Structure 1
Amino acid sequence: MATNKILVIDDSKVIQKMVREMLPPGNFDVLQAMNGEDGLEMIRKEHPNLIMLDFLLPRVSGWDVFQELQNISKTEGKMTPLVLMSGRKEEVAEKISEPFEYFEFIEKPFEKKSLIGAIKSAMAKAKNWHPPGGGSSSTSGGAAAGGGASAAEIMAMKKQIATMQAEIDALKKQVSQIITVVKQKLK
């Protein structure tokens, strides 16, 4: 019986088959999901020992799955080893800055030796992961002190700040319009 569950989330049956054939026989139970939505469901149900995630997926993108994995890791207090796959590394690096600290990246197509190396590296990187926020909640200098936010968390925060700023600007405009109407009514 297989001792380790590997979840391959990729919309390409070719990649799924390739991964299955490249892994040593008997050691792994290879689970498969064709999209991010199904992948997240399998992560929650099956608790795989390793996840291989395509960055470009239908329904729920690889980026969204990655962000949800970060949330799951924070909740559970441990990181599931992750190998992020893409045919274009620059698409990944646009959203997640290098060096990739807690997961491994492999560019498609890949050879067996590269896959095995990426899996070993992902497992080692996941062991080095520490839950964020193990102390001060200060945002200034936290990253420099070694206990700061990961690049993915920083990107998520920047996105959230930009959204909030847009909402603030829209509210300011609405308040300005209300003040103008009130002033006209008072005249």
Structure 2
Amino acid sequence: MAKVLVVDDDAHIRELVRLYLEDEGFDIIEKANGQEALEYAENHRVDLVILDIMMPKMDGWALCENLREFGEMPILMITAKGEATDRIKGFKLGTDDYLVKPFDPVELVLRVKALLKRYRISTASKIQLGGITLDRKSYHVIYHDGRTATLPMKEFEVLYKLGSHPGQLFTRDNLIEQIWGIDYEGDERTVDVHIKRLRERFTDCESDFRIVTIRGLGYRLEVYSN
């Protein structure tokens, strides 16, 4: 399931959000302030962030702005600040949606699902590519004989992105924007390097799936068996 980072200095709000979202099968990570949340997001995959504005150490405005440097992920603000100027500021900094306290938890769940759907983030944490399974929760590759392997995070994300949409073409710019973020300043050859490494890792799985180069355009993954 999708991993949701909940950031609020009010433990009761965090618990309320966690209970309702866990009932829907989401994986919830709680943080009490923006600094802790940013440190977590820098080192772990997060599919959606729910954050408060008024927090110690780093407020929601700053957290939202920093998270946008990681690329495209849904951000939902929950706050007591309901004035139009605050909502406008939030949207300018990159939030996708806005709920004012007190809020209806059922509405929160619906908004979370809508954001994930808008971003086309799968609520499943595993996909199968022929004889192997990719587990996005653990970043493990599970082989049909029970063996497991762990990939570097970016390599896994590239393979998972391609594998989630078999047959779909992804340009290098698509992959950079969705995995490295729109502010990534490196060369697009980074994508080529990661594709080359993935091909080398999975030479024994070419009867199951293959990453195909579409010359001048990008890459797509083709699955041959399930």
- Other-structure match for 2:90: 96
Q: 1:36 aligns with which of 20, 34, 37?
A: 34
Q: Distance in 2 between matches of 1:94 and 1:56?
A: 16
Q: Is the 8 A contact 1:10 1:33 kept in 2?
A: yes
Q: Percent identity?
A: 24
Q: Distance in 2 between matches of 1:84 and 1:17?
A: 16
Q: 1:108 aligns with which of 97, 101, 110?
A: 101
Deviation for aligned residue 1:117? 1.9
Q: Is the 8 A contact 2:21 2:28 kept in 1?
A: no
3-state DSSP of counterpart to 2:51: strand
Q: Is the 8 A contact 1:55 1:61 kept in 2?
A: yes
Letter in 2 for 1:92: D
Deviation for aligned residue 1:24? 4.5
3-state DSSP of counterpart to 2:102: coil
3-state DSSP of counterpart to 1:96: helix
Q: 2:21 aligns with which of 23, 37, 41?
A: 23
Q: Distance in 2 between matches of 1:40 and 1:106?
A: 21
Using the size of structure 2 for normalisation, the TM-score is 0.48
Q: Distance in 2 between matches of 1:57 and 1:101?
A: 18
Q: 1:67 aligns with which of 53, 65, 68?
A: 65
How many aligned residue pairs are there? Answer: 124
Q: Distance in 2 between matches of 1:94 and 1:116?
A: 23
Deviation for aligned residue 1:97? 5.0
Q: Gaps spanning 5+ residues in structure 1: where?
A: 74-78, 134-187
Q: Distance in 2 between matches of 1:120 and 1:26?
A: 10
Q: Gaps spanning 5+ residues in structure 2: where?
A: 121-173, 184-226
- Counterpart check, 1:86 vs 2:79: yes
Deviation for aligned residue 1:59? 0.4
Deviation for aligned residue 1:102? 6.0
Q: How does 1:29-178 map to 2 (within 5 A)?
A: 29-73=27-71, 79-90=72-83, 92-93=86-87, 95-96=89-90, 103-127=96-120
3-state DSSP of counterpart to 1:120: helix
3-state DSSP of counterpart to 1:41: helix
Using the size of structure 1 for normalisation, the TM-score is 0.57
Deviation for aligned residue 1:112? 2.2
Q: Which has the higher helix share?
A: 1
Q: Distance in 2 between matches of 1:89 and 1:15?
A: 17
Q: Distance in 1 between matches of 2:95 and 2:30?
A: 22
Structure 1's 125 and 101: CA in aligned 2 closer, same or farther, altered over 3 A? farther
Letter in 2 for 1:108: K
Moved over 3 A (4+): 124-127, 130-133
